[in-house]
Amino acid sequence: MNPKKPLPFWLLVGTSCVALAGVLGTISTRTVQADARLQRPMAAPQPVAATATPALSATPQPALKTHGKIYRGIASWYGSVFNGRKTASGETFDMNAMTACHPTLPFGSVVRVVNLRNRKSVIVRITDRGDLGSGNGRIIDLSYGAAEKLHMTQSGLARVSIEVLALGHSGTSD
């Protein structure tokens, strides 16, 4: 310790270093979760051939209309912020259920989502509607429960493929 500097100065320096280290340590460990309600529909990406390499499109694409096609893009997830609230379909959101938000698929549609990094898959039902962001490649927003099964809750986002297994009734979507 420098005898020319008073003890309060060194206490301030030490406290500042500890506080800064604590802030920097927590920044890198936070997960990504949507905090704002998603509401505005947007067009979905074009289908890709099953043998093609994953490619993301920055431009809006036509709505998904045909089951059996495979689409690729980015998945995100949402959970406790919306747990217990009404979804766009009128159902109560259960963050642990196997459900998802999609900008164009009819409510009740069933899709298989595959995490392209680890090949984990889950089957979810579309119960919510939202604008997943223009030009960012996001094609689906999963419930926390579905995201957990895909092992993507820590990263918050994952490259996925989605296959439409069954179309829901279009009478209740937008």
pLDDT tens, 10-32?
677 777 766 666 655 544 444 44
Percent of the chain residues past pLDDT 70, beyond the cut: 63
- The full 3-state SS of 41-72, as one line of letters, equals CCCCCCCCCCCCCCCCCCCCCCCCCCCCCEEE
Residue 13's Cβ-side half-sphere holds a number of Cα atoms within 13 Å equal to: 8
- The pLDDT value recorded for residue 61 is 42
Query: Does 48 reside within a domain?
Result: no
pLDDT tens digits, one per residue of 33-78: 554 444 444 444 545 444 333 333 333 344 545 667 888 999 999 8
**Phi, psi of 16, rounded to the nearest 5 degrees:** -65, -40
Would residue 60 count as lying in a domain? Answer: no
Sole residue written with tokens 């069954």: 166
Tell me if 41 sits within 8 A of 174, measured CB to CB. yes
Specify if 42 maps to a domain.
no
Report CA-CA distances (Å) from 48 to 71, 94, 148, 162: 6, 31, 26, 11
Q: Is the pLDDT of residue 96 over 70?
A: yes
Q: Print the domain residue range for 162.
A: 70-172
Note whether residue 156 is domain-resident: yes
Residues 13 and 80 in one domain: no
Dihedral, 140, 141, 144, 145 alpha carbons, nearest 10: -30
Per-residue pLDDT averaged across 93-101, rounded? 92
Q: Are residues 16 and 79 in the same domain?
A: no
Alpha carbon distance 45, 35 (integer Å): 24
